[in-house]
Amino acid sequence: MQPLGEFDLIARFFKRPTPHAVVGVGDDCAVLQPRPGTQWAISTDMLVAGRHFFPDTDPGQLGHKALAVNLSDLAACGAQPVAFTLALALPEAREAWLAPFAQGLLALADLHGCELVGGDTTQGPLNICITVFGEVPVINGRTLALLRSGAQAGDDLYVSGTLGDARLALEVLQGQLSVPPAVLKAARTRLQAPTPRVALGLALRGVATAAIDVSDGLLGDLGHVLQQSGVGAVVHTDVVLQRLASWRALVPWLSEPDTPLSKARLLGWTLAGGDDYELLFTAAPAQRAQVAQAALRAQTPVTRIGQIEAERGLRLLDEHGQPLPNTFASFDHFA
Ligand code: ADP
Ligand code: MG
């Protein structure tokens, strides 16, 4: 087979009709027109082989995940996905890798009506960098984007879906423990092909006061909201464990409540596991019915796990309402 050249590769796998872009792939710049009354929410995320994923990861899932982690940022801002660019460094241009990669990537893009409008392609160690463009309404000069800075004392604190699944899969894949095959399969999908909570983010516009996506771990990401909002919070760890660590019941030794190791690990994976891609958000107690409506509309369960308080700092409570020391470090590339 003829080796693929740079431009053949782009034309073959990444150049598609882009009906919503003024100019898509093929010129020096993509040109996008924001609709009247909207602003761009823009986010970039990079996936590096050996750092964010195993180099032999299924390329289809990798394509999905590279876009999913970016769409998760748009979801956290309550932005409607519109377009994205793809910067790709590849060790070699192999069709057997590129075809499934493009398929996984573009299937998720199509699901969200998000068009690939440009990018860059170069030879080098496998590295995938995506920039997404999403639309948020602006009303009377005020953005409807959900921000980290909007949490108010007295607000309820919520998390979508479940936490710790991806971490469980990672521990198993690294040979730290074994779990029943069906449990691994579900957890592995969460790790390798997460579902961005785009519909929930959109439904929470005008309802949530602040939001962030949980990528580095619940407590660490909550810390960003607290810091940027200038508030504190109390978190009920028993609720988090019972409602968000749904996988725990399926792993026999983890569900034994009294072994200190199982409890510490369980808490660690749930509160600081990383790669969850759920939404953490705050809303006034008066909005509880609207939050429930939003969850229903987005078909995404949400759980109330605590409260925002005026006193700064993060307070964890155990099942007896007693303070629990926060020893749960979130992921930090340079720590
Ligand atoms: P330039 O050298 O002017 O930056 P390139 O030759 O790198 O342009 O790219 C040619 C066209 O292909 C541009 O429109 C660019 O946005 C697009 N492109 C390059 N790589 C990708 C990719 N991986 N996915 C989508 N579009 C790409
Ligand atoms: Mg270029």
| pLDDT tens figures, 193-226 | 999 999 999 999 999 999 999 999 999 999 999 9
**Overall residue count recorded for the chain in this entry:** 335
Confidence tier at 236 by pLDDT (50, 70, 90): very high
| Residue 249: per-residue pLDDT | 73
CATH class (in words) of the domain with range 6-143 = alpha beta
Mean pLDDT of 140-168: 96
Is residue 300 within 8 Å of residue 242, measured between CB atoms? no
Distance, CA of 331 to CA of 249 (rounded, Å): 25
Residue whose entry in the numeric block shows the structure tokens 């069906």? 182
Whether residue 160 contacts residue 283, with contact meaning beta carbons closer than 8 Å, is answered with no
Mean pLDDT score across all residues of the chain: 93
CA nearest ligand 1 atom 10, residue: 26
Q: Would the pLDDT of 254 be above 70?
A: no
Ligand 1 centroid, distance to 5 Cα (angstroms) = 13
Q: Any idea which residue has 């998390």 for tokens? A: 159
pLDDT above 70 coverage of the chain, percent: 96
The answer to whether residue 256 scores a pLDDT higher than 70 is: no
Instruction: Indicate which atom in ligand 1 lies nearest the CA of residue 28.
Output: 3
Across the range 97-116, mean pLDDT stands at: 98
Residue labelled with tokens 């019972």: 242
Domain ranges in the chain are 6-143, 156-324
Write the residue with the smallest CA distance to atom 24 of ligand 1. 119
Phi first, then psi: what are they for 178, rounded to 5°? Answer: -125, 150
Residues 6 or more apart whose CB falls under 8 angstroms from that of 67 comprise 84, 105, 108, 109, 114, 130, 132
pLDDT at 257: 60
Mean pLDDT of 172-179: 87
Q: Which pLDDT does position 253 carry in this prediction?
A: 66
**One fold for 6-143 and 156-324:** no
Q: Give just the sign of the alpha carbon dihedral 279, 285, 286, 289.
A: positive
Centre of ligand 2 from the C-alpha of residue 121, in Å = 7
Instruction: pLDDT band for 54, please (50, 70, 90 cuts).
Output: confident
Whether 297 and 289 have beta carbons less than 8 Å apart is answered as no
Residue in 7, 25, 114 to alter for ligand 1 test, most ligand atoms within 8 A of Cβ: 25
pLDDT (average), residues 115-129? 97
The architecture (CATH level 2) of 156-324 comes to Alpha-Beta Complex (3.90)
Strand, helix or coil for residue 169: helix
Per-residue three-class SS string for 166-188: HHHHHHHHCCCCCCCHHHHHHHH
